[in-house]
Structure 1
Amino acid sequence: MTYCFKKGLTLGALALGCFSCQDPSPKGEGATDEGPLPQKDYLGYVDTRVGTAASIADITVTEVEEPMGYVSPIVGKPSALTHWTPQTAKWTERVITVPVPYWYDQEKIQGFRGTRYPNGAVVGDWGAMSLMPMTGKVAIDAEERASKFSHASEVAKPHYYSVQLDDYDIKAEFTAGAKTAFFQFTYPESGSSSVIFDGVYVPGHYKVIPEKNEIEGYTVIAGHFKNYFVARFDKKFESYDVDMLPKVVDASLVPEGFEATYFNNDKLEGEPAVRKHYSQLDYEWLKAPVEGVKDDFFSARYTGTLIAKHSGEHTFTLTTDDGTRMYIDDKLVIDQWKYRAAGTETYTMDLTEGRSYKIRIEYYDGSGATSMQFRCSEPVEMDPGLGAKMALKGVDAHAVYVTFSTADKEKVRMKVATSLIDLAQARANMEEEFPDFDFDKAVAKSAEVWEKELNMIQVEGKEDDKAIFYTALTKCFVNPRNLNEDGRYFSPFDFEVHEGQMYTDLSLWDTFRSLHPLWVLVKPEESKDVINGMLNAYQQGGWLPKWPNPWYRSIMMGTHADAVIADAYVKGIRGFDADLAMEAMLKNANQKGDRGFSGRVGIDYFNEIGYVPAEVFGFYGEPVARTLEFSYDDYCIAQMAKALGKDDVYATYMERSKRYINVLDKETGLVRGKKANGEWLPPFDKSISVWAQGTAHDTELYYRNHTLLVPHDIPGLADFMGGKDGLIAYLDHFFENDMYYVGDEFSMHAPYIYNSLGAPWKTQKVVRDMLAKYFFNDVGGLPGNDDCGQVSSWYVFGAMGFYPALPGDPVYQLCSPIFDKVKMNVGQGKVFRVIARNNSKENAYIQSATFNGKPYNLSYIHHDAVVGGGELVLEMGPEPNKAWGVSDQ
């Protein structure tokens, strides 16, 4: 059975032929040559706290997730090297524990964090630092120094944040560029005003330079590179000090050292793979700690006997990545057995001189670097002036602080520049971005940057809708993170400084779907830079990244750099080495990862038997998801090959893209795990994924959402469902029974499938309803993890009236815009317009359309028509016009 579906390149010249008939060129009737849009003021609509609380919508979500945006009210230029945000917590106990800096339901602010946490994601914050203004006695611990505040005193914009710290009567304000933050603290009258700096999760190296009113230093990132910073004040220091680190536990306390046993699993199970002896636990490795141990998901146990030299209070400090537990005489005293980024835990107890104590430390590595520092502070009287003396020399410490006297309402200004290259570059970054101490000018400069970003798309409609839209658009430009510093960057893939481009914090599993396609439209030059950064990672590390944070992270499924590159290329983005890109994409598709990088896990089985077997890659292995996503990635490779004239590669990978059918089960009508011998797992088997855990309903949700993860072959999926009507019935049941998991990405394209089945009015209704049901101008206004702007970009496209349902194909599916007018600056002086006449909440259906003044009866639009600067006019009404948008299907 054959159907004609609304597609672009996948139907050869059909799309281009149709557009030729309807004259979509910018010179058609109704088109204009208007230049860049005149700038309007949109920052007033934005509140970056949206998404910092649990969703206020009735969200379909499984027990293993929580409808949280996982975003923070960050400040800084788009794609900044370092963003800044208020920090209410280091960690918060949620369904998924992650180091999100800010949670709306917290009552205190611990400081202001220079963060590289990928906004809205569930990964680590790398190279973080924090600072806090105070009065009175300096408190080192973040919770002890935290101040109460009121949300009513907050102003949260992408260029500016301010808040009143009630416990200290300090007004804190800051703005930020790409690499430098600029703070202004308004103090009360005090003889002991101060600012403290720390590394949030890890110790740092700090030096005070009083003659320059400066502090400089760095924290170490996974033992392989450093986050450098320079802080400069406009006020003289009256005193300064550091909180010294305890001594590393060595033979003086543990005479016989530590015995280590390593296991090639993350649960300390079975026989050890390697045994090793250490005199002290003080190491940082990028991957495996010893030969014979896996790079990721290994575990270790360290045991030793400590003999106390003094009686009295001892404080143990344990810094590790990922999960850690510590026992003293078999008593559990530190319990952080969970996936996390680098963190420091402490435990204090009284010891008796000469007595022996059994020490046992357990550790598991999830994905990424490995670190272990075990220190002990003994009850020995210290020279009270030692900290200040060491601060002048530079010393490793928990924290550094400076103090001074202030008059009532006195403003103290401070700039903090960061760099991954060195201290000299940090100073250069400061001079480039904020060369003086004019705070108001700095705020205005940052506001101008963001207004220019937001003005790339201008919308007309209800005020509340504009607030949701521009707040969402702001989140679309936070990540990926640009590591460029004056034309150079420190590469997290080979630990060298290079010239050129490098981006990280690319949540590619999420953002290939609509975030990167949005950038292709409004940021084509930077889209090119992002791809060049990926290719630099390939040349320096051997692989295209799949979720760099900042180096390779072997998380999520598929290798969706393939999708980002192919989508950009078929839409006309040039300026990168396309042949090198194809080489890298083909490597993903045919070789197992190495050097600690897991690309397409199970690719050898996929290429041998046509799917990823369930019993080999079970729980956490996502075997069914991998099969579906590898198939889609192969489709993207095929489109890239076709555009490059590589017809043989195109044919091969289009055939490979059909392998998804091997995990679709006729008995259940859904995806299903399959063993290597062809035997199916039981229906709704929970081992299919960690996300399928929880209730039976949770499991069914996973299966039903994932079954739709075939955006590249809707005809094939329809055939599996028994025909076009069968897939429509599936979708109707899916949406009517609230099974759509809008906060996750598996089926984000699902509402747009109706367009490809000849029922575009259903797409119009479903999308319009979802935009209204799930997104709000409220701190609980996001329906799930924003995932570096993916959920926000899904909203932005839907609100404008079109969506890239199939990245890799230069076609956008049309839906029902919520705005009366949309103007998108698509570059080269051209503006694409979508005008919805008679638009209202009730009038959600497209009755008819014109493009550049001529009748238009397609439910999709080609990329060339959009970037050509055309005008799409939609007549809206309260009832579906089932004759519109179904021609030429």
Structure 2
Amino acid sequence: MMNFRLIKFLVCIGVCCICSSCDENEGDKGLSGNNYLEYVDTRVGTAASIADITVTEVEEPMGYVSPIVGNPSALTHWTPQTAKWTDRVVTVPVPYWYDQEKIQGFRGTRYPNGAVVGDWGPMSLMPMTGEVNIDADERASKFSHDSEVAKPHYYSVQLDDYNIKAELTAAAKTGFFQFTYPESKSSSVVFDGVYVPGHYKVIPEKNEIEGYMVIAGHFRNHFVAKFDKEFDTYTIDLLPNVVDEKLVPNGFKAEYFNNDKLQGKPDVVKNYTKLNYNWLKEPAEGVKADFFSVRFTGIFVARHSGEHSFELTTKDGTRMYIDDQLVIDEWKYRATGTNIHKVNLTKGHEYKIRIEYYDGSSTTEMHLRCAEPVRPDPEMGAKLALEGADGNAVYVTFSTKNQEKVKMKVGTSLIDIAQARANMDEEFPDFDFDKAVTKSSGVWENELNLIQVEGSEDDKSIFYTALTKCFVNPRNLNEDGRYFSPFDYQVHEGQMYTDLSIWDTFRSLHPLWVLVKPEETTNVINGMLNAYEEGGWLPKWPNPWYRSIMMGTHADAVIADAYVKGIRGFDTDVAFESMLKNANEKGNRGFSGRVGIDHFNEIGYVPADVFGFYGEPVARTLEFSYDDYCIAQMAKALGKDDKYTEYMERSKRYINVLDKETGLVRGKKLNGEWLPPFDKSISVWAQGTDHDTEVYYRNHTLLVPHDIPGLADFMGGEDKLINYLDQFFEKDMYYVGDEFSMHAPYMYNSLGTPWKTQKVVRDMLAKYFFNDVGGLPGNDDCGQVSSWYVFGAMGFYPALPGDPVYQLCSPVFNKVRMNVGNGKVFTIIANNNSKENAYVQSATLNGKPYNLCYISHEAILEGSELVFEMGPEPNKAWGTSEQ
């Protein structure tokens, strides 16, 4: 196995600086500062997993992470960009892939690390020498991974084609770059909007560039870039003209279909003079907000002869035809992209244009531009740069001496340009790059010192790299006490977080934050409630607004779990009201809510023949049942006994999609008939081979974390469920890279066989997680997979969010110390621990014998000390006491 912890250490970070930074809050932390950044390599997960992963054809074992730089929960992270898109199983805008050989630039990104959604409002910049090239592929430079240093607070690389050393650090809203150039009369930096054009203005007397990129037509990513060097020249690469009535005299006919396949007759027909629109919800009255399709047709009349360059910016799936010839065929998964087609046309000739658009979820964009073969004014770009203009890119040039360091800060804001400049001035008030790196390292050392572990060097590298990923998202939109709301497009005071992959992260990431970041957990929940007030619903998978993806409304779980574990500081009346709305009302205003909730409440399940395939009917039934359990726990904690009883009854409805014949989940029609066993139409994730389909069914059958006794009864008793689990793990049916059954290894604890949990968890951690670029077993999903590892490696896991109890397993580390606030430290010690000694022989809690396979949240907050004696064989008598 390749050890990926870099021996060379960062940049000018003295341990004394780090410790002094940690000492500022030592009274709160309860732990003294150690240097853990040396163990972190943020490239882990940027390549395909090196483990043998159970994965279906519709997914792949990719971490989908990038070596991002910036504070935890930063408004904007920065990362090297090796690609805009990649042709993999799912085409996603992940900025960095380890197996690619060139760097296109450095992206200010809001891609949710490890997820499969869009990068909203990104920008990129690239230092160069010689002729300026704005095309990302053409300007890209070769580099060697040997020249990289990849830490959460600092990244550096040698751009071989330009002989430039690029270094960057970042805070929450500002990136800080240092480029070491060779001798050149034409050194430069180019800026672009990655997937969309931008509006740029150059202010040469201040050595500044300012501008913004429009995000889905509803708000802007503002930036200010300030250099410590004067510009020699500057220019904007201006946009082509929008295709309007000058080029398409009779406009475009739009035929909308309320399906995503252009099937049947159009449901709505409209006419447009141009295609230059952003739709937040439905594009026209009578058209669905999501999963619709549209055919645009028009006659283009060329005004000139020669090469025309068409630019088509859309989201999701797009095909473009000229005279019935397919010229663009692209699928962008939940994200915006621009495609360019160049073609020779003849003046006065008519050409049929047809664009077929297939919408997925969230917003819709449609922009068609055309650059005609007309010689532009070569001075126009520079002139408009001083006034401010729309463009594909902007760049500045200057001469440099050999090894001259040029520094540049880039402040960002969702509010306005003035706030972007204020953010930059606050976070990095001067051009001292080394001081900025040290400041950023101190922020991250504070984070990593929340949990201190003792064990092998390799295990510590895996652990602290994983812990880093647990603190990247959700994204904090707060700017000096204000935020621009993605839900009503107004500036408010208070808290707002987005890029909440709640379907994934409610399981263990948010419970980890409850333990080590209780105050920020309160802020996150207040942000959710602000989203409810401004948009009408709790967020589900905001990126940055509502997205109609994934099942359930697991904000219910996040809020209930936090409240029953003592998190306060939010309005419980509003919180409970919003949870009840999730459970009883159909979504609207761009929010899908619990799709099928009316059927769930009327007949007790989501019918497969009404909500098949994309509708995930079985999963929704299971997850609605669990969400209702969480609502019941919140009701109980609030003293609402009638609601507790009602929602506990509702939480049993999962039984309606468990089939006695197969012993598994199974789709059920509206009339009560079952779908055929292992029917692939049950879910998009059940596609692929028959084995893939069986993996889906067996994982989903375990999606009942809140009623393991009820699931055991369905199976025919605890022994039958134990046997099911044994076969499940022995036959490698468990998909660790996805979340359906992440709690499954811990179910043994609830079935009186805790030694099996100990063995399975320890084996999985060793099998799937490595200190390697291929060291993640699947999409990290905003830190969920990493948090699953962090908990398992420490020796306990929140198997049932909403219940203030953690299931114990077998710690990887000899000692774990976790700061739990108020100067208290929860300690786990594993004596005689080794890879062979994976079984708990006995335990003490605060010096007293302990024979439970779980521990309460209260005991952890008290700063208890849990001591395990480990051995090579299971002690089947330990951990079986009921209380």
Structure 2 length as normaliser, TM-score? 0.97
State which of 353, 357, 365 in structure 2 corresponds to 1:359. Answer: 353
- Cα deviations by residue, 1:426-448 (Å, 9 ceiling, x for unpaired): 01100110000000000000000
Q: Which amino acid aligns with 2:251?
A: G
The alignment status of 1:170 with 2:202, answered yes or no, reads no
The alignment status of 1:295 with 2:289, answered yes or no, reads yes
Query: What corresponds to 2:720 in structure 1?
Result: 726
State the shift of 1:756 in Å: 0.3
The alignment status of 1:322 with 2:316, answered yes or no, reads yes
Query: What corresponds to 2:73 in structure 1?
Result: 79
The alignment status of 1:652 with 2:631, answered yes or no, reads no
Query: What corresponds to 1:135 in structure 2?
Result: 129
State which of 467, 489, 510 in structure 2 corresponds to 1:516. Answer: 510
SS of match in other structure, 2:334: coil
> C-alpha separation between the residues in 1 aligned to 2:29 and 2:251?
72
> C-alpha separation between the residues in 1 aligned to 2:382 and 2:641?
70
State which of 457, 461, 464 in structure 2 corresponds to 1:467. Answer: 461
> C-alpha separation between the residues in 2 aligned to 1:542 and 1:304?
39
State which of 133, 142, 152 in structure 2 corresponds to 1:158. Answer: 152
**1:778-797 paired onto structure 2 within 5 Å:** 778-797=772-791
State which of 736, 741, 746 in structure 1 corresponds to 2:740. Answer: 746
Query: What corresponds to 1:446 in structure 2?
Result: 440
Q: Is the 8 A contact 1:323 1:340 kept in 2?
A: no
- Cα deviations by residue, 1:244-276 (Å, 9 ceiling, x for unpaired): 100111122111111111111111111111111
SS of match in other structure, 1:321: strand
State the shift of 1:337 in Å: 3.7
State the shift of 1:619 in Å: 0.9
The alignment status of 1:544 with 2:538, answered yes or no, reads yes
Cα pair distance change 1:604/1:35, threshold 3 Å: closer
**What root-mean-square deviation, in Å, do the aligned CA atoms of Structure 1 and Structure 2 show?**
0.8
State the shift of 1:136 in Å: 0.3
Query: What corresponds to 1:692 in structure 2?
Result: 686
> C-alpha separation between the residues in 1 aligned to 2:650 and 2:555?
18
Query: What corresponds to 2:335 in structure 1?
Result: 341
The alignment status of 1:59 with 2:49, answered yes or no, reads no
The alignment status of 1:638 with 2:632, answered yes or no, reads yes
Query: What corresponds to 2:842 in structure 1?
Result: 848
Q: Which amino acid aligns with 1:863?
A: H
The alignment status of 1:423 with 2:417, answered yes or no, reads yes
Q: Is the 8 A contact 1:180 1:415 kept in 2?
A: yes
**1:212-611 paired onto structure 2 within 5 Å:** 212-611=206-605
> C-alpha separation between the residues in 2 aligned to 1:668 and 1:885?
32
State the shift of 1:35 in Å: 6.6
> C-alpha separation between the residues in 2 aligned to 1:592 and 1:398?
41
> C-alpha separation between the residues in 2 aligned to 1:824 and 1:248?
57
Query: What corresponds to 1:775 in structure 2?
Result: 769
Cα pair distance change 1:34/1:534, threshold 3 Å: closer
SS of match in other structure, 1:62: coil
Query: What corresponds to 1:10 in structure 2?
Result: none
State the shift of 1:338 in Å: 4.6
**Runs of 4+ with deviation above 4 angstroms:** none
> C-alpha separation between the residues in 1 aligned to 2:783 and 2:461?
16
> C-alpha separation between the residues in 1 aligned to 2:533 and 2:473?
22
Q: Is the 8 A contact 1:850 1:856 kept in 2?
A: yes
- Cα deviations by residue, 1:761-812 (Å, 9 ceiling, x for unpaired): 0000000000000000000000000000000000000000000000000000
> C-alpha separation between the residues in 1 aligned to 2:334 and 2:363?
11
Q: Is the 8 A contact 2:836 2:872 kept in 1?
A: yes
Query: What corresponds to 2:614 in structure 1?
Result: 620
> C-alpha separation between the residues in 2 aligned to 1:72 and 1:596?
29
Q: For structure 1, which segment, 602-611 or 294-303, has the greater mean C-alpha deviation from structure 2 after superposition?
A: 294-303
Q: Which amino acid aligns with 1:229?
A: F
> C-alpha separation between the residues in 1 aligned to 2:103 and 2:580?
48
Q: Is the 8 A contact 2:315 2:332 kept in 1?
A: no
Q: Is the 8 A contact 2:851 2:878 kept in 1?
A: yes
- Cα deviations by residue, 1:637-683 (Å, 9 ceiling, x for unpaired): 00000000000000000000000000000000000000011100000
Q: Which amino acid aligns with 1:290?
A: A
State the shift of 1:339 in Å: 3.0
> C-alpha separation between the residues in 2 aligned to 1:878 and 1:859?
18
- Cα deviations by residue, 1:708-756 (Å, 9 ceiling, x for unpaired): 0000000000101111101000000001111110000000000000000
- Cα deviations by residue, 1:271-330 (Å, 9 ceiling, x for unpaired): 111111111111112111111111111111111111111111110011112211110000
> C-alpha separation between the residues in 2 aligned to 1:613 and 1:277?
38
Q: Which amino acid aligns with 1:829?
A: G
The alignment status of 1:832 with 2:832, answered yes or no, reads no
Q: Which amino acid aligns with 2:872?
A: P
State which of 76, 87, 100 in structure 1 corresponds to 2:94. Answer: 100
Q: For structure 1, which segment, 297-306 or 80-89, has the greater mean C-alpha deviation from structure 2 after superposition?
A: 297-306
Q: Is the 8 A contact 1:456 1:825 kept in 2?
A: yes
> C-alpha separation between the residues in 1 aligned to 2:508 and 2:246?
58
Q: For structure 1, which segment, 141-150 or 362-371, has the greater mean C-alpha deviation from structure 2 after superposition?
A: 362-371
> C-alpha separation between the residues in 2 aligned to 1:337 and 1:152?
34
Q: Is the 8 A contact 1:570 1:640 kept in 2?
A: yes
Query: What corresponds to 1:13 in structure 2?
Result: none
> C-alpha separation between the residues in 2 aligned to 1:104 and 1:326?
32
SS of match in other structure, 1:91: coil
State the shift of 1:188 in Å: 0.3
Query: What corresponds to 1:199 in structure 2?
Result: 193
SS of match in other structure, 2:816: strand
> C-alpha separation between the residues in 1 aligned to 2:882 and 2:505?
31
Query: What corresponds to 2:10 in structure 1?
Result: none
SS of match in other structure, 2:487: coil
SS of match in other structure, 2:826: strand
**1:25-64 paired onto structure 2 within 5 Å:** 36-64=30-58
Q: Is the 8 A contact 1:34 1:831 kept in 2?
A: no
Q: Is the 8 A contact 2:297 2:352 kept in 1?
A: yes
State the shift of 1:34 in Å: 11
Q: Which amino acid aligns with 2:845?
A: F
SS of match in other structure, 2:550: coil
Query: What corresponds to 1:16 in structure 2?
Result: none
Q: Which amino acid aligns with 1:727?
A: L
> C-alpha separation between the residues in 1 aligned to 2:669 and 2:284?
34
SS of match in other structure, 2:341: strand
- Cα deviations by residue, 1:182-234 (Å, 9 ceiling, x for unpaired): 00000000000000000000000000000000000000000000000000000
Query: What corresponds to 2:84 in structure 1?
Result: 90
State the shift of 1:340 in Å: 3.5
The alignment status of 1:761 with 2:749, answered yes or no, reads no
SS of match in other structure, 1:341: strand
Query: What corresponds to 2:879 in structure 1?
Result: 885
